[in-house]
Structure 1
Amino acid sequence: MIRVGIVGATGYSGVELIRLLARHPKVEITRLYSSSAEGAELAAVFPHLEQIALPPLQAIDPQAMAQENDIVFLATPAGVSRELSPQLVAAGGKVIDLSGDFRLASAELYQTWYKKQPASDEQLAQAVYGLHEWNEEKIRAARLIANPGCYPTATLLGLLPLAKSGWVEPRSWIIDAKSGVSGAGRGVSLSSHFSEVNENVSAYKVGKHQHTPEIEQELTRHSGVETIVQFTPHLIPMTRGILVTAYGQLTKPVRAEELQDLYESVYSGKPFVRVRPYGSHPRTKDVYGSNYCDIAVHLDQRTGRVIVLSVIDNMVKGAAGQAVQNMNTMFGLAQTEGLLLTPVFP
């Protein structure tokens, strides 16, 4: 059994990790950590977990954590993992970080976009970017995984086949993304207040969302060509789900059949990416509560653009589910272990 510890167990990503790991046949949830609720029982915070036998919340002690767990998940705000992850790795532990502290290879970019002190260059070099379908071999040998952001997961899975093919102008991508409110976390803020969100759709962080450089970094890394994107996120009045609609200018005439064949070939044998029939319209409900990403491509002959639609559950494939998928690979298990969940519908 893999002994698992979770830091930030009282947040949305933390409690989603518990939901997934409690049913995992090869995992024991050994320790739960919280900086604000030491000694409390998690079921007192989340009554829906009452039937699951869980340890009480305890204080953070990196040395003890590395000894008591085979792997530690950090479901923490940005800025926390930068301090904690290096201590855990130095003590012999393995870490999957669900925050943004190790996603960007450049410390300067992190400071610019996150407005926080970055990890050192040496620490950043140790981290492996955990987009499983595109980095499985490096994940297998990693000790520190930077779990991708929710928007980048949906976006990159949708765009990387075309970016790598060279069929799209690398500076032409326009990404329109819409997310449910759970992506804002469990903390109280005016922007996620029911009266503000209900019956309302709004763009936010236009031109300055911190996931922008992450998307650009990975598109550039896999295509070998510097890529700049126009990324605009929107908040919509639902709890879970992300829909990405991305537009790219084709560099040459391409047939619809070629686009479809490209995606089906790239994601053949990738169990959590479902390439839908050409011209489909994936919906967030199609993946709700699951670790799937559904993708469909459209060709607009009139404009010479390709349109990519990509949907995920932001709490599962966009956070906890992808983290468990990465853990499975790090420990030599099938990537699907504990994750073959049928989406919830309606």
Structure 2
Amino acid sequence: MTHSIAILGASGYTGAELVRLIAGHPSIEIKALSADRKAGQTMAEVFPHLRHLDLPALVKIEEIDFGQIDLCFCALPHKTSQAVISALPRDLKIVDLSADFRLRDPAAYEKWYGNPHAALELQKEAVYGLTEFYRDEIRSARLVAGTGCNAAAGQFALMPLVKAGVIDLDDIIMDLKAAVSGAGRSLKENLLHAELSEGYHGYSMGGTHRHLGEFDQEFTKAAGRDVRVQLTPHLLPANRGILMTCYVRGDAQEIHDTLAKAYADEPFVLTLPFGEAPSTHHVRGSNFCHVGVVADRLPGRAIVVSAIDNLTKGSSGQALQNANLMLGEDETSGLMLAPIFP
């Protein structure tokens, strides 16, 4: 059976990544692609690396016949998806890649994103899209909210540990390094080559990063008590990749064993041998996540590191993984591409 899909916001990085992945999917066909400023252009004009594919031209959202669509990927900017998705058919399956439905508490959404939630009824049915921890709920969902890429990296490193209670929940320090494509494709002065390259700096420091809302929500739910982590993000002069380094209190070997057991049957999350740490190089362009544990020289402390590609496992690959479940396909379909190296 072939499923017809639409991608809204196909002219952005996550939209292009969805197209790249779906091109190798055996049972999904792209029927419609939307863009705003680039409507009327072809994908070959917007993304020349996709010119070999036979794709529909970019159109405005209102030009799409959703009656012919089985599932819609919504790769629109934050604060846009709520209004757009509210206007879509109520029986249409949707995977939203924005932040608009990630936070279950409307007050938390307003706190972290600065405006009231505009689709409260839809929020009630949205399922958080971290596949490895919400697989059953995603399979039967109509609306799935893709996670933040940084939030995904942190949860892969720590979620099984929070659930098992093998680390001190009051002493978690997360040090994030994120590549520039996570900031999107729009022009920003601080992302110009001359201002970004050959440098490395922190941003959203002191507990202001929006993905903290997801950590608060998911770790608190997993632990059954309030959990607040300390997070410092840094911007790397690289195109792809997230490296999340977590400093925790606990027995390093027990921490490694807990992660290895939790991910033993997961197709995309690999626990490295004890004492090894991952690299963004080793997951680039793939839907894989590598997690490593290293014992600290200080007794009772450990370092947990995860690496993902922010555009794939952190966003578009995660979205396709969720769509596979929603459409009754094999979860790994179209996603077993080996990482690109070097």
TM-score by length of 1: 0.95
Structure 2 residue identity aligned to 1:209: H
Cα offsets for 1:177-220 (capped at 9, x unmatched): 00111111101101211111111001011121110111121111
- In structure 2, what is the equivalent of residue 294 of structure 1? 290
What is the aligned partner in structure 2 of residue 340 from structure 1? 336
In structure 2, C-alpha distance between the alignment counterparts of 1:284 and 1:247, rounded to whole Å: 19
SS in 2 for 1:247: strand
Give the structure 1 partner of residue 27 of structure 2.
26
Unaligned runs of 5+ in 1: none
Change beyond 3 A, Cα 1:89–1:294: farther
Aligned partners of 2:165 and 2:145: how far apart in 1? 27
Q: 1:255 to 1:320 in 2, by over 3 A?
A: closer
Superposed CA offset, 1:35-65 (max 9, x none): 2222211111111111100001111129x54
Residue 68 of structure 2 is aligned to residue 72 of structure 1: no
Indicate how the Cα distance of structure 1 residues 293 and 255 shifts in structure 2: closer, same or farther if over 3 A, else same.
closer
Instruction: Quote the residue 1:208 is aligned against.
Output: 208
Q: Secondary structure of the equivalent of 1:61?
A: helix
Q: Are the aligned partners of 2:247 and 2:301 in contact in 1 as well (CA < 8 Å)?
A: yes
What percent of counterpart residues are identical?
Answer: 41
Structure-2 separation of matches of 1:285 and 1:235:
16
The residue number in structure 2 matching 1:270 is 266
Code of the aligned partner of 1:159: L
Q: Distance in 2 between matches of 1:297 and 1:138?
A: 30
Moved more, 217-226 or 96-105: 217-226
- Residue number in structure 2 paired with 1:246: 246
SS at match of 1:110: helix
1:111, CA displacement in angstroms?
1.1
1:307 matched to 2:295? The reply is: no
**What secondary structure sits across from 1:178 in the alignment?**
strand
What is the number of equivalent residue pairs in this alignment? 340
Q: Please state whether the residue corresponding to 1:95 is helix, strand or coil.
A: strand
Whole-angstrom CA distance in 2 between matches of 1:216 and 1:171: 12
Match of 2:83 in 1: 83
Distance 1:259 1:204 in 2: 29
Tell me, which stretches of 5 or more residues in structure 2 are unaligned? none
Does residue 91 of structure 2 align to residue 96 of structure 1? no
Which deviates the most, 307-316 or 213-222?
A: 213-222
> Could you say which residue in structure 2 is the equivalent of 1:42?
43
Q: Which residue pairs with 1:282 in the alignment?
A: 278
Partner of 1:169: 168
Q: Is the 8 A contact 2:252 2:301 kept in 1?
A: no
Which residue identity does 2:276 align to in structure 1?
A: S
**In the alignment, which residue of structure 1 is the partner of 2:122?**
123
Q: Which amino acid aligns with 2:274?
A: Y
Runs of 4+ in 1 over 3 A off after TM superposition: none
Instruction: State the AA in 2 paired with 1:265.
Output: K
Q: 2:83·2:119 contact (CA, 8 Å) conserved in 1? A: no
Say whether the 8 Å CA contact 1:2–1:27 is kept in structure 2. Answer: yes
Check the 8 A contact 2:5/2:70 in 1, yes or no.
yes
CA distance in 2, matches of 1:65, 1:221: 39
Q: Distance in 1 between matches of 2:89 and 2:332?
A: 26
Give the whole-Å Cα distance in 2 for the aligned partners of 1:294 and 1:174.
Answer: 19
Amino acid at match of 2:23: A
Deviation at 1:171, TM superposition (A): 2.4
**What is the distance in 1 between the residues matched to 2:132 and 2:252?**
25
8 Å Cα contact 1:89-1:144 kept in structure 2? no
Say if 1:3 and 1:69, in contact at 8 Å, map to a contact too. Answer: yes
Q: Contact conserved, 2:86 with 2:119, CA < 8 A, in 1?
A: no
